[in-house]
Amino acid sequence: MRRKFIGGNWKMNKTPDQAKEFVISFVEKIKTIEGNSVDIALFPPFLALNVVKEYSGESRLIVGAQNMHYKDSGAFTGEISPVMLNSVGVNWVILGHSERRHIFRESNELINLKVKAALEHNFHVILCVGETEEERLTSKHYDVIKEQLESDLADIDAKGINNIVVAYEPVWAIGTGKTATPEDAEEMHRYIRRLFEGMYNSDIADKVRIIYGGSVKPANAKSLLVKEDIDGALVGGASLNPQSFFEIVNSVID
């Protein structure tokens, strides 16, 4: 049994004060969730990490960063290192998000350096992969995902994979209101699992969590999350409101 994972990626939203208000309300709501069947995570902007850590207190909320550099320190203006994140108690990070790939031109080689650095520092990584609309329309989507995973995970051994969650986020579904159908998403998740069987082994392919991202909302979450190979969701817009994010979390429980 793979434990479900629901993450909220806030992107460039919320000041520390707004983050505090969200967390106070959200932590109250998730107190009602019993057992260990779901990991619940928030990925606020760097400036809000401290306040989200502080106000999540002893709750089950995992707090992670949306990006990081691969070096520990140095002349990299505007960057944040794994050592800095660790110093505020953060050891989860999203890497390879499509906005990093497309807007900030991050290459597979750079993402691979970041994944390696994250694992060396004992981080858990949400590794995002996804094809553009044009790539899907021209039937290149499987090749694109294969290329991203093989390059981003180059030189990562089976042990490292224990700390990786894969997020399949089709670029055309992010922030557009166009969700992949549960069937399309399931088909890609199954393909990714088969890839892991080839890249690693069947045990790892069985265990690796593959979550879906792209316009997940309370109204469509359940139809995606009931699929056998969809182990959770990475939520953008709908994670900005404590009630709608909680409803998505709840849809894996009931």
Q: How far apart are CA 147 and CA 141, in angstroms?
A: 10
Catalytic residues: 97, 169
- Strands of the sheet containing 38-43, edge to edge, are 62-63, 38-43, 4-9, 232-235, 209-213, 164-168, 124-129, 92-95
In terms of CB distance, is 82 or 213 closer to ligand 13P?
A: 213
In terms of CB distance, is 131 or 169 closer to ligand 13P?
A: 169
The answer to whether 237 touches 248, Cβ cutoff 8 Å, is no
Q: How far apart are CA 59 and CA 97, in angstroms?
A: 27
Which residue number is nearest to ligand 13P in terms of Cβ? Answer: 236
Rg (C-alpha) for the chain, rounded Å, is: 17
The answer to whether 229 touches 190, Cβ cutoff 8 Å, is yes
Read off the amino acid at residue 29.
K
Residues in the chain: 254
Q: By CB under 6 A, name the binding residues for ligand 13P.
A: 9, 97, 169, 174-175, 213-216, 234-238
In the DSSP assignment, the letter for residue 65 is B
In terms of CB distance, is 112 or 244 closer to ligand 13P?
A: 244
Helix (H) or strand (E) holding 63: strand 62-63
Min. distance of Cβ 250 from ligand 13P in angstroms?
17
Binding residues for substrate: 9-11, 175, 215, 236-237
Min. distance of Cβ 157 from ligand 13P in angstroms?
27
Binding residues: 9-11, 175, 215, 236-237
Min. distance of Cβ 237 from ligand 13P in angstroms?
4
Min. distance of Cβ 73 from ligand 13P in angstroms?
28
DSSP string, 86-110: HHTT--EEEES-HHHHHTS---HHH
In terms of CB distance, is 82 or 236 closer to ligand 13P?
A: 236
